[in-house]
Chains A and B, each alone.
Chain A
């Protein structure tokens, strides 16, 4: 009886997730009347705006990842090593982006960094891009921080640090040669989540008026029938590829690391 119920729940859940996907895919393939084709995909891929916005978002995602890693790894490391009492508070702060809507964040940014402010980031293109990247980093902070913090838990941070120090290493060396390589798997999984978030993000990019993939997705959705479905499938594919890579990396890591 219990078993039956479990199966029923599972099937319901799968249906809930998969049916829309199937419908979406089916629709995206039916641009040509009466037969399935990849016409919608071809149209999307041929659109120069697709390539522009997509590559813009990929670059932004990579920058966000680099910035996020440089921000989060040393912070999480330092908190674990020197300020363990602060961990609950830091964790709380990193979770805030989940509770505060992106629209609030971006309005805050615009208010704080507009052209007549003390730091007019929105006044220049580079400044706006920078601001957008900071925004992305904020949105991915909960995931990045958790991933890295979990990674740090698997090693004896304090003792490894002291071992490295007694061998003459300074902080930069310790971070680069001891901490980073040992949390690489965690960093990568955080990076993939960040990538997925940035690629699909709409609010920040739209309100900062940057040519990112998310707004393009929205624009197409408002104006076309089949192409947005193809785009949605592509976006899904990217997200799922990221998830797959996380799985892969995690499994790979079980191989090389083990009980110390």
Chain B
């Protein structure tokens, strides 16, 4: 049995179901992200685990224990909020000590634990500061230390980095993951940022309109999206409408260009998809299917250049690396693109 078990969880506000039949088993020490667009029910699901919302249907068990009867303050769950939610009247050290004090720990134990936690988050000297004297990133680290100080069974984070600027976001997500691994704490991390989810998680739950569309490792989610929504939401994809000519060998016609996927496909019309990095400009070894098209858009992103080419009815996105002596093709240029037919993904509904 998994450490954290969520079974058939549902939540309705009035007539609207915002979480539908949500199932998840999280192992001890695992880092699981809930990824999805705003309003898809991530926060609601997380808050049901924390005990701030009561499920309409379903059960939540931690370490085999049913949480239904337990109030939020009895669940021993650490929570980190987007808005930090540090107590403004308390110093950093007092904030971190809050939970320990509530638990009735002795002075000595509290002081030691606070020092240890401040060390862990890399702010050993800021114990006497007040929250308003800290930067956003520092405040969020203190909030993390505060949540972890009481040794919770599960750590929940609700978009903890959304209020921070890009640089800090990237460095802090590394730190959070490192601390999580070091302490081996079971963690659920809510985010709408796919890069965050892909880079931090052991597994990702992609959510869409209250439904967990797909659960899997970042690799699986990215390379084998099971639904059209997941395919579109995670990473960039070009969708290609194709006609299956031979289901057994996976021979298809994509707007006149024929290719063999080497996999069994359903009969009739299918939607295939391809990631930008699976398409090369010009011929490339191992990418046997070639198509020609006209460049319609060039997006210089720095190390990578994202281009779009019109091919028949579809617009295909692809990437090239920046190189100082080979400028990218201009809009309107005719180019030949190559890709491997086995890299084409079949998108279900």
What residues make up the interface of A, taking CB atoms closer than 8 Å to B?
155-156, 159-160, 162-170, 173, 177-178, 181-182, 256-260
Contact string, B84-116, partner A, CB cutoff 8 A, digits 1/0? 111111000000001100110000000000000
A170 and B75 CA atoms in complex are apart in Å by 12
Contact string, B41-53, partner A, CB cutoff 8 A, digits 1/0? 0000000001110
A177 and B71 CA atoms in complex are apart in Å by 19
A159 touches B81 (CB 8 A): yes
A-B contact pairs, 12 of them (CB 8 A): A156-B83, A162-B72, A163-B146, A165-B71, A166-B77, A167-B147, A168-B76, A170-B73, A177-B87, A178-B89, A258-B132, A260-B83
A257 touches B88 (CB 8 A): yes
A166 touches B50 (CB 8 A): yes
Query: Would A260 and B78 be within 8 Å (CB), given that A166-B50, A167-B98 are in contact?
Result: no
In the complex, which residues of chain B have a beta carbon less than 8 angstroms from the beta carbon of A173? 102
In the complex, which residues of chain A have a beta carbon less than 8 angstroms from the beta carbon of B84? 260
Question: In this assembly, does B79 line the interface, its C-beta being within 8 Å of a C-beta of chain A?
Answer: yes
A204 and B130 CA atoms in complex are apart in Å by 45
In the complex, which residues of chain B have a beta carbon less than 8 angstroms from the beta carbon of A167? 73, 98-99, 102, 146-147, 150
Question: In this assembly, does B160 line the interface, its C-beta being within 8 Å of a C-beta of chain A?
Answer: no
In the complex, which residues of chain B have a beta carbon less than 8 angstroms from the beta carbon of A169? 73, 98-99, 102
Nearest residue in B to A178 (C-beta to C-beta)? B87
State which residues 104-140 of B face A: CB under 8 Å: 130-132
A182 touches B102 (CB 8 A): no
A162 touches B83 (CB 8 A): no
A168 touches B150 (CB 8 A): yes
Nearest residue in A to B149 (C-beta to C-beta)? A167
State which residues 23-79 of B face A: CB under 8 Å: 50-52, 71-79
Query: Would A166 and B78 be within 8 Å (CB), given that A173-B102, A257-B132 are in contact?
Result: yes
B72 touches A165 (CB 8 A): yes
Minimum C-beta distance from B344 to chain A (A): 46
Q: Name which of B51, B78, B102 has the most chain A CB atoms within 10 A of its CB.
A: B102
In the complex, which residues of chain A have a beta carbon less than 8 angstroms from the beta carbon of B52? 162, 165
In the complex, which residues of chain B have a beta carbon less than 8 angstroms from the beta carbon of A162? 50, 52, 72, 79, 81, 85
In the complex, which residues of chain B have a beta carbon less than 8 angstroms from the beta carbon of A256? 130
In the complex, which residues of chain B have a beta carbon less than 8 angstroms from the beta carbon of A178? 87, 89
In the complex, which residues of chain A have a beta carbon less than 8 angstroms from the beta carbon of B87? 160, 163-164, 177-178, 182
| Residue from the list A155, A166, A259, A260 in contact with B147, Cβ < 8 A | A166
Nearest residue in A to B104 (C-beta to C-beta)? A168
Query: Would A182 and B73 be within 8 Å (CB), given that A167-B98, A168-B103, A169-B102 are in contact?
Result: no
Query: Would A155 and B88 be within 8 Å (CB), given that A256-B130, A259-B132 are in contact?
Result: yes
A155 and B88 CA atoms in complex are apart in Å by 9
Minimum C-beta distance from B345 to chain A (A): 40
| Residue from the list A160, A257, A258 in contact with B85, Cβ < 8 A | A160
A258 and B152 CA atoms in complex are apart in Å by 30
Contact string, B311-337, partner A, CB cutoff 8 A, digits 1/0? 000000000000000000000000000
Q: Name which of A162, A163, A166, A257 has the most chain B CB atoms within 10 A of its CB.
A: A166
Nearest residue in B to A159 (C-beta to C-beta)? B85
A182 and B85 CA atoms in complex are apart in Å by 13
In the complex, which residues of chain A have a beta carbon less than 8 angstroms from the beta carbon of B86? 163, 260
In the complex, which residues of chain A have a beta carbon less than 8 angstroms from the beta carbon of B132? 257-260
B88 touches A260 (CB 8 A): yes
A163 touches B79 (CB 8 A): yes
B102 touches A260 (CB 8 A): no
Nearest residue in A to B146 (C-beta to C-beta)? A167
Nearest residue in A to B130 (C-beta to C-beta)? A256
A162 and B150 CA atoms in complex are apart in Å by 15
In the complex, which residues of chain A have a beta carbon less than 8 angstroms from the beta carbon of B81? 159, 162-163
Minimum C-beta distance from A122 to chain B (A): 42
In the complex, which residues of chain A have a beta carbon less than 8 angstroms from the beta carbon of B72? 162, 165-166
Query: Would A182 and B89 be within 8 Å (CB), given that A166-B73, A257-B132 are in contact?
Result: yes
A177 and B98 CA atoms in complex are apart in Å by 9
Minimum C-beta distance from A77 to chain B (A): 15
Minimum C-beta distance from A214 to chain B (A): 37
B73 touches A260 (CB 8 A): no
In the A-B complex, the 10 residue pairs with the closest CB atoms: A167-B99, A166-B79, A258-B132, A163-B85, A181-B89, A165-B72, A159-B85, A168-B102, A165-B73, A169-B102
A220 and B164 CA atoms in complex are apart in Å by 66
Nearest residue in B to A256 (C-beta to C-beta)? B130
A258 and B89 CA atoms in complex are apart in Å by 10
Nearest residue in A to B103 (C-beta to C-beta)? A168
A177 and B81 CA atoms in complex are apart in Å by 19
A259 and B86 CA atoms in complex are apart in Å by 12
Q: Name which of A162, A163, A173 has the most chain B CB atoms within 10 A of its CB.
A: A163
